[in-house]
Every structure is written in structure tokens, then in C-alpha cells.
Amino acid sequence: EIVMTQSPATLSVSPGDRATLSCRASQSVSSNLAWYQQKPGQAPRLLIYGASTRATGIPARFSGSGSGTEFTLTISSLQSEDFAVYYCQQYNNWPLFGGGTKVEIK
Amino acid sequence: EVQLVETGGGLIQPGGSLRLSCVVSGFTVSINYMSWVRQAPGKGLEWVSVIYSGGTTYYADSVKGRFTISRDNSKNTLYLQMNSLRAEDTAVYYCARVSGEDYYFDLWGRGTLVTVSS
């Protein structure tokens, strides 16, 4: 059974700084990985699929990388609207989400 | 405009039943893969069930035998029938569109809260 682990659990970042979020799979998921953003009281929003392809309408400051078991979501210059919880999800098998990383204002 | 609107949540006693609905506008439910994903209070996301365009259904082990996903093509609506509810089923339930044969979710509703408690 695959386990998806996100780190850190909480990331404190100043507006304008870069944020780097990690997602690790316990076995290879190839490039079958998506990232979502969720703000309080809202549904998740798809950011990245195929490990590195931005979804429609997602700003270029969001980028994804990695394959196999190690993945990274980078937000190049944090804007106020980017403070949220981020989830990774593998879809190499039945969908499975990581535990999330909360990006908070430093 | 694309919209997914879930209804049917509420407070239900353990062992009870509830049916959730997801009314979709802006695309056709029957030609897409559609899923339910849930989120327990303060917790992460958990995939619950999927219905394929051909009608095949699959479930997470945690709900297998208790939940049934279905759709009404004439109403462009997705359903989740939940029976034998347990406290651990307490969550916000989202309906979501699966992006083709890749199991990521490109459109989401706002969710409906189900609380299982005596």
C-alpha cells in the first residue's frame, strides 16, 4: 500500500519569498502526481498534474517537479492569496492524498 | 458556467442512512468519470468512490458495502447513498470531476457536511 508523506507540516514564509513543499511516495508513482490548494471553508483547487503541468488559469509562480517517489511544489514569490493548505495526490493507483502542508505567514 | 453543487448533508444518528446529491451544470455527468471525496473535520482528503462514464463503480475499502454511487443522466446529477453510517464517516463530502482516465480531480463542488452522532 502506497503512503504519501508531505513535509513540512507547516511552513512559515514571508510574502515575496520562495516556498518549497515536498511530497514523498513510499513507492514509485511515476509522474502520476497532482497538487491542490485549499483555503479555509473552500474546496480544493487543482494546481498541478502530471507532476509538472500547471492546470488552466494557474499562475506561473507555481511550479511542480519530480518523478518516481520525490516531488516538489515551488511557489516562487508568495502572494497573500497563496497562504493555504497544499495537498499532493498520487494517481498511479487508486487516488491517495498526502497529509497536507500549511503555508502560513511568517 | 461550470458548477457542482452538493446537497443532502446533515446530522444523522449512527446506523442511519443519507443520500447526497451533486447537481452539475456546464458539462455532462454521464460522459465523465465522477467521484466523491471527503474530508473529516480538520483532516486531509480521502477518496471515497468513482463512477465511470460506462457506469462501472469503485469504492474505497472504508465505505465498500455501505455506500453506493450513482447518477441520473436526465438530471445531470451525481448521488451518494450512504447506509450504516458511522461516526468516522463524519466529513465534508465533495463531488469532483475526474480528469479523463487520469485520476486527478479538475473540478470540485463546495461540499456538504455530514455529521454522524447520537
Task: Please give, rounded to a whole number of angstroms, the shortest distance from the CA of B70 to a CA of chain A.
Answer: 19
Q: What percent of chain A has pLDDT over 70?
A: 100
Question: A61 and A77 in contact (C-beta within 8 Å)?
Answer: yes
- In this predicted structure, the answer to whether residue B68 has a pLDDT above a threshold of 80 is yes
Average pLDDT over residues B69-87: 98
Degrees to nearest 5, angle at CA A90 with A6 and B105 = 110
- In this predicted structure, the answer to whether residue B101 has a pLDDT above a threshold of 80 is no
Which of B44, B94, B109 has its CB closest to that of A87?
B44
Q: Does B33 touch chain A (CB under 8 A)?
A: no
Q: How far, in Å, CA of A56 to CA of A49, rounded?
A: 11
B103 half-sphere exposure, CB direction, 13 A CA radius:
21
Mean pLDDT of chain B: 97
pLDDT tens digits for A10-47?
Answer: 999 999 999 999 999 999 999 999 999 999 999 999 99
Do A94 and B99 make contact, defined as CB atoms within 8 angstroms?
A: no
SS3 A71: strand
The cell numbers describing B20, all together, are: 447526497
Q: Does B101 touch chain A (CB under 8 A)?
A: no
User: Strand order of the sheet with strand A70-75?
Assistant: A4-7, A19-25, A70-75, A62-67
